[in-house]
Amino acid sequence: PSTHPILPNRTNAPLLTPSGKHTLPPPAFNTSPSKVPDVSTLTNKSLLPTAYAHLISVAPNLAPLIESHPCTPFSAEGLAEPVDPWQSLVSSIIGQQVSGAAASSIKRKFVALFNTAEDENIDTAAAASKPKSTFPTPAQVVSKDLPTLRTAGLSQRKAEYISGLAAAFLDKSLTPSLLLNGTDQEVHDALIAIRGLGPWSVEMFMLFSLKRTDVFSTGDLGVQRGMAGFVGKWKVGLKAKEGGGKWKYMKEQEMLEIGERFRPFRSIFMWYMWRIGDGVDISAI
């Protein structure tokens, strides 16, 4: 991938409009005074080396984990992958509280609703030349009533959530420009105002889709588990009836205090806490 600037607290993935026709490039270098001077000239190729150095300066024992597990989502290749925010958010809603297999099945059926000759938005000739399995636009979604959306396997609430999300894109409550250039707080507030998008869903979208570098989720169980291991709070020898498990929850304030040390790269720190939470051997750290 070609070299381009990376800005903390901004979106670092190229975004597509809901129609998928346009790609918005990452923002240009910020020439105004930076609140974090040492990272103001980061690029997609220097982000990880700089983040690694910062994480290790705060916690030297992370070095073996970082060396053995590169943070691929924030690699130059990972940052180059275009993202359709509309499609990502719809997929997030579909996937709530169902298995991966069920979510995939529902998503296929949902997309299929808009890829038939009967779709009132296109005539038969246009449908014949239309690519298969094209993800619907917000306008197409609001053209369907909720009972029709539910035939894809969506619950009543999820159908309402997706229809409401489509309306937000259409009335400009959500725009690719806002998602690209807004501050973390501005993007968070715009997303959390939409029914069906809770704190965890918003945080995961900001991290994995928008590739924002300083996201931190205290409500994620994997992060809680990883941080418990990271600070050495493993339970030993407890029976299930006495609390069970090999780890205990950390208080939110404690997680925030620890995470604060890793700004402005808490997204990358959190990614490594997931690795620990997933059972990566940490005996060497």
Rounded distance, CA 222 to CA 58, Å? 21
- Across 95-122, average pLDDT: 83
102 vs 35, more confident = 102
Residue 242 pLDDT grade (very low, low, confident, very high; cuts 50, 70, 90): very low
Give the pair of three-digit tokens for residue 4: 């381009």
pLDDT at 123 over 70: no
Predicted TM-score (pTM) of the model is 0.79
The bridge status of strand 15-16 relative to strand 23-24 is antiparallel
Q: 33 pairs with which residues across the strands?
A: none
Q: Domain extents for the chain?
A: 44-81+216-277, 85-209
Which helix (H) or strand (E) segment holds residue 166: the answer is helix 156-170
Quick one: pLDDT at residue 225? Answer: 87
Output the CATH code of domain 44-81+216-277.
Answer: 1.10.1670
Rounded to 10 deg, the angle between the 100-112 and 85-94 helix axes is: 120
- Residue 117 CB neighbour total at 10 angstroms: 12
Tell me what pLDDT residue 238 has.
33
Summarize pLDDT for 135-191 with one digit per residue, the tens. 999 999 999 999 999 999 999 999 999 999 999 999 999 998 899 999 999 999 999
What CATH number has the domain spanning 85-209? 1.10.340.30
- Is 80 exceeded by the pLDDT of residue 55? yes
Q: How far apart are CA 283 and CA 218, in angstroms?
A: 24
Answer whether residue 3 shows pLDDT above 90. Answer: no
